[in-house]
Structure formats: C-alpha cells, structure tokens
Amino acid sequence: MEAFYNIIAPTLCGIIFLVYTCKVLNFIWFRPKNLEKFLRQQGLSGNSYRLLHGDLKEVFKSIKEAQSKPINNLSNDVAPRIIPYFIQTISKYGKKCFVWFGPKPMIIIMESELIREIFAKNYVYQKPHHSNPVANLLARGVANYEEDKWAKHRKILKPVFHLEKLKVLLYNLS
C-alpha cells in the first residue's frame, strides 16, 4: 500500500496531467494551425492564427470605430457600420478568405459559383451547431436547417427568387 502512495499515485497524476495538457495544447494551438495550413492549401487567405483570441480583438475594435462615426442619411449601405472587419478582410484578402473567432476559423465566400455549389450540396457542407441554447432560439430559420429539411424549404422558396419576379419587385420599389 505504501508503494502505491509513493510511486503509482504520483505517476498516475503525472500521466493525467500530461494527457489534459496535450488536449488543451491541441485545442488552442495545434488544431488551429493545422486548419490554417489546410485552408491555405485550399486557396483561401487570411490572417495567421493568434493564440486563443484569433481576430476577435480586431473585430471589436473595427466595430467600435465604425459606430463612433456618424451615419450618412443619404445611403442605405449599412454594411460598413455593422460588419466593418469582414468588409476590410474581403478587400484585403479577396472573395475567398477566412477570419478567426478564437481557435475556430470562419470562412467567407463571395463567389457566386462556389455559393451555388455549397447550397446545392447541403449534405457535404454542414453548418456549425450552436451549443448555446439562447443562440439556438434566436438563430432559427431556413439558414440553420440541415439536410432534408433544408432541401424541402429550399424547394419551397426557389420560385420566389426567379429573376423575372425579382425584376418586378425592383421595378415596383423604384
């Protein structure tokens, strides 16, 4: 029994400590760096990963800066005020880029062909799931549906977005 307390218990504690240290290092450094390498191989560009916070500091800084400026009443362009960091990133890195939200990348795709492919292959491209129940409650809708439910609602909504119907809508608005 004395051997257990003197040799085996500290060894087990050391092994458990090493296992959890490896898991934490994998989560906060190795996995994000591997994802960054993989995204760059796929032709995407963006900022390098920064430990733990990613691009969050810059996102909040740009939002605060944009909201400190007065609103131009003659323009309906609200995107520079709401999502300034994403607009800066797209102008800097192009229409296929990524930003970091902590240790997880968010991919931005602005090319119509790629967007069409993503919407057509809803089984291949999965959406991230929210672990926060409040986010699940607030972020409901067609954008968050998966697989069969997505396909069903896409089929229902598709006729609404035909070019002719959109032209009529634009004509009536102006």
> What is the DSSP code string of 43-63?
T-EEPPP-TTTBTHHHHHHHH
Average pLDDT, the chain: 84
pLDDT score for 174: 60
Position 93 pLDDT exceeds 90: yes
CA angle 96, 89, 47 (to 5 degrees): 85
Which tens digit of pLDDT belongs to each residue from 18-71?
A: 999 999 999 999 999 999 999 999 999 999 999 888 899 999 999 999 889 887
Strand partners, 45: 97
- Percentage, residues of the chain above pLDDT 70: 87
139 pLDDT band, cuts 50/70/90, is low
Position 4 pLDDT exceeds 80: no
Kindly give the pairing relationship between strand 45-46 and strand 104-109. unpaired
- Percentage, residues of the chain above pLDDT 90: 39
